[in-house]
Amino acid sequence: MAITGASPAAPAVSTQGLTRRFGDVVAVDGVDLVVQRGAVFGLLGPDGAGKSTLIRMLATVLLPDAGEALVLGHSTASEASAITGRIGYMSQRFSMYPDLTVAENLDFFATVRGVPKQVRRERSAALLDSMGLAEFGGRQARHLSGGMKQKLMLATTLMHEPELLLLDEPTTGVDPVSRREFWRVLAGLHRGGTTVVVATPYMDEAERCSAIAFLQDGRIQQQGTPEEITALVPGTLVEVSGADPRAALAALADLPGVGSPHVFGEVVRVLWEGSLASVEGAITTHLRAAGFPTVRVTPTRVDMETAFAVLAEAGR
């Protein structure tokens, strides 16, 4: 991977062998990552996978132990000051001054970043309005609800119109309505050309990204577009219903051609490696012999959650 200087064509983010340890724990382990400009890049993975550490290194908050990260063409280690004014970083925890009001927080962080007064006034009015916070401008941040706090943080990171947004689990602990609203705002930014890197543990949010990477134990397991990721899953995903899922799961385990059987709500999902035509006959015959007379077999679309479950299993 050729990493160029600060040319406008440089990718929004590119890292090589990025590593960070905390004591004996390797939180991020040799990550190579490229995020193109204008992308909405989803960083997925379970808790403790290293998402926050990776984002904090990109935000210049943490220094890497090894490897390097170029953000907007500048090194996070040696040229942090060339980066900080051009990015917006939203940490996982609420990180505004709790005893300052919504308007004061917005104004403070924008002034620190050198946004002129007139622009500050216009933008804060527009942002608060678009996020439904207009009437809460005078309220101290600690008295906001969870969803409003997240929106205040997003608004604060947008005051200086950053080229790159780094969002660390912005929707964790936020109600579904606020989550959808939040993603609506991100979609608007995406249309405006802002690059967004968003860490999330929610697989359904991955579908809204233009590119994703799956992080586990500090390493990137898979990366690509959502379509590319789901295409990696071998075979056909089928749902088996009409039997006790746990019992059916045990019975299916020894059927040849069945991979990654797992319980999904009231059904069992398996990957069928043979042809689509033969799947129904093979499974119903097998289960009937095992004492499940009335099963139904339905082929289904591979979603992100299944894709990662299957790929994570295959990667072990």
Partner 1 sequence: MSLTRIRLLVWKEFLQLRRDPLLLRLLLLMPIIQLVGFGYVVSVDVRNLPTAVVDLDQTVVSRQLESSFTASGYFLVVARPDAETQLTSLLDTGVAKVALVIPQGTQDLLARGQTAPVGIVVDGSDSQIASVGSGYAAQAIARFNASRTAAFTGSLQAPGIDARTRVVFNPTLDPINTMIPGLVAAILMISLMSIMSQAVVRERESGTLEQMFVTPIRPSEYLIGKVAPYALLAVAQLSVVAAIGMLWFKVPFNGSVWVVFVGLALFLLISVGLGLLVSLISRTRQQAQQALVFIMIPTMVLSGFIFPIESMPEAIQPLTYAVPLRYALTVLRGSFVKGSGFEALATPLWAMVGFAIVIFGAAVIATRRRIAE
Contact stretch for partner 1 (CB under 8 A) within 79-87, 199-207, 209-217, 287-295: 79-87
Task: Single out the segment in contact with partner 1 by CB under 8 A; choices: 100-108, 188-196, 229-237, 242-250.
Answer: 100-108
Helix (H) or strand (E) holding 231: helix 226-231
Which among 32-40, 85-93, 234-242, 267-275 is the span making contact with partner 1, rule CB under 8 A? 85-93
Q: Are strands 164-168 and 66-71 parallel, antiparallel or unpaired?
A: unpaired
Instruction: Work out how close the CB of 249 gets to partner 1 at its nearest, in angstroms, rounded to a whole number.
Output: 42
Mark the segment that binds partner 1 (CB under 8 A) among 25-33, 38-46, 55-63, 200-208: 55-63
> Please, which residues have CB within 8 angstroms of residue 86's CB and are 6 or more apart in sequence?
72, 162, 163, 164
The pattern of x and - marking residues 124 through 143 that bind partner 1 according to CB under 8 A reads ----------------x---
Identify the H or E element spanning 189: helix 176-191
Q: How far apart are CA 112 and CA 275, in angstroms?
A: 61
268-296 b/e (C-beta count within 10 Å ≥ 16 → b): bbbbbeeeeeebbebbbebbeebebeebe
Q: Which residue has the tokens 């233009």?
A: 210
Q: How far apart are CA 159 and CA 310, in angstroms?
A: 41
**Closest separation between CB of residue 113 and partner 1, Å?**
6
Q: Does 99 bind partner 1 (CB under 8 A)?
A: yes
> Is 172 near partner 1 (CB under 8 A)?
no
Selected from 4, 22, 285, 298, the binder of partner 1 by CB under 8 A is 22
Residues that bind partner 1 (CB under 8 A): 22, 56, 59-63, 81, 84-85, 87-89, 91, 93-100, 104, 108-109, 111-114, 140
